[in-house]
Amino acid sequence: MASIHSSTLPPIPALAASPARPPNNRPPSPSSSTTPAQKRGREDSPPPQAAGSAEKYRKVDENARVVAQHYNARPEVGLSRRKESPILHLKNFNNWIKSILINKHARRGMFAMDLCCGKGGDLLKWGKAGIADLVGCDIADVSVDQARDRYKQGRGNRFRAEFFAADCFGELIGDRLPRGHMLDLVSCQFALHYSFETEEKARIGLTNITKNLKPGGFFIGTIPDANWIVKKLRNTEGLSFGNSVLTIKFEQKETYPEFGHKYWFELKDAIDNCPEYLLRFPAFVKLAGEYGLELAYKEKFHELYQKESQNPQYRDLLTRMNVLNPEGTMSADEWEVAGLYMAFAFRKKS
């Protein structure tokens, strides 16, 4: 396995003196009114190029089953165990990024959906954003049960939440959402790339994201940067590369298909050799446009850190979330893995 560690890896930039607090640039909340036509539109129809095969969407295929089994098997660990994680600061960094994304796009009274919600790790973030309602769904039923329990055990929950298990990229889920409600915001964190196993799955995912999203509403998320991965793959002699906490292994590198380019991903203390798929972001932007989504924002994690760590609000959050170690940094390997990811936001056209 080739190492991706580099002696020239730039350290995390030192935090400069705090500038003046920037203005609040949150987007205006979309209209909360729901027309009869919108309510009628809640009944699902197959996505483009998929008519006549609705039953096919209801089947969880073998790869999806492997992913579900993987996340179902991940144990729920206590706080003391989490603090011992070899990627503690990377996990906290990822949570810091998600906190920023949610804070920038969520507003009080919103109805949000957490697509691929896992064990409900973002519940506190949603609560702090002041939303009114949340729907969470995930392919791993054990994770969904844990998310539901986490919500019930939360003290002073100020928003309503419902959870259900479903293959968000293999079946249409619109009929599982509360009737008479349109979504203000959809979030999909570290999971959208699973939909790029096939074009059909990507289209099902986009249908689930946009079918009940209000015009002017936002779709936010985080994904691996395919360009980062492909560059590493092309620069290694074999099919795998990594460092002390990360291993990525491909099955071939002769062709680079738009869909179905499979690799195996292992991140110590997080993901155990799970099948994933390259998501070519330009291809996704083009496909998303067919569903009324226009790209509003994208940024790599390293660049996002350099910018947002100068914002006093998010700078303070770095400390509160224990993102950095006592030396004000994190391990070189954790920081390098952080560079694998990017954040994005799409807006649904009016």
pLDDT, one tens digit per residue, over 154-199 is 888 999 999 999 999 999 999 999 887 899 999 999 999 999 999 9
Is residue 138 part of an annotated ligand binding site?
yes
Tokens of residue 239, six digits = 């099919």
Is residue 188 part of an annotated ligand binding site?
no
Q: Is residue 100 part of a domain?
A: yes
Average pLDDT score over residue span 32-60 = 41
Residue with tokens 């979504």: 183
Average pLDDT score over residue span 283-306 = 98
Is residue 298 part of an annotated ligand binding site?
no
The model's confidence at residue 72, banded by pLDDT at 50, 70 and 90, is: low
pLDDT, one tens digit per residue, over 105-137 is 999 999 999 999 999 999 999 999 999 999 999
Instruction: Output the pLDDT for position 139.
Output: 96
Per the CB < 8 A criterion, the answer to whether 311 and 256 are in contact is no
Is residue 316 part of an annotated ligand binding site?
no
Is residue 94 part of an annotated ligand binding site?
yes
Q: How far is CA 157 from CA 100, 114, 184, in A?
A: 21, 17, 20
Kindly provide the b/e burial profile for residues 67-99, where b requires at least 16 CB atoms within 10 angstroms of the residue's own CB. bbeebbebeeeeeeeeeebebbbbbbbbbbbbb
In the beta sheet, which residues pair with residue 274? 265
Cα end-to-end distance, the chain, whole Å? 49
Is residue 95 part of an annotated ligand binding site?
yes
Q: Is residue 45 part of a domain?
A: no
Is residue 189 part of an annotated ligand binding site?
yes
The model's confidence at residue 100, banded by pLDDT at 50, 70 and 90, is: very high
Residue among 42, 56, 55 at smallest CA distance from 208: 42
Q: Is residue 44 part of a domain?
A: no
What average pLDDT does the structure give for the chain? 85
Q: How far apart are CA 188 and CA 196, in angstroms?
A: 14
Q: Is residue 58 part of a domain?
A: no
Residue among 267, 268, 233, 266 at smallest CA distance from 251: 233
The model's confidence at residue 212, banded by pLDDT at 50, 70 and 90, is: very high
pLDDT, one tens digit per residue, over 221-269 is 999 999 999 999 999 999 999 999 999 999 999 999 999 999 999 999 9
Look up residue 197 and give its DSSP letter: G
Is residue 104 part of an annotated ligand binding site?
no
CATH assignment at residue 262:
3.40.50.150
- pLDDT at residue 311 tops 90: yes
Q: Is residue 292 part of a domain?
A: yes
Average pLDDT score over residue span 270-293 = 96
Domain that holds residue 121: 85-348
Tokens of residue 328, six digits = 């004000």
Tally of domains within the chain: 1
Q: Is residue 275 part of a domain?
A: yes
The model's confidence at residue 67, banded by pLDDT at 50, 70 and 90, is: low
Q: Is residue 263 part of a domain?
A: yes
Q: Is residue 29 part of a domain?
A: no
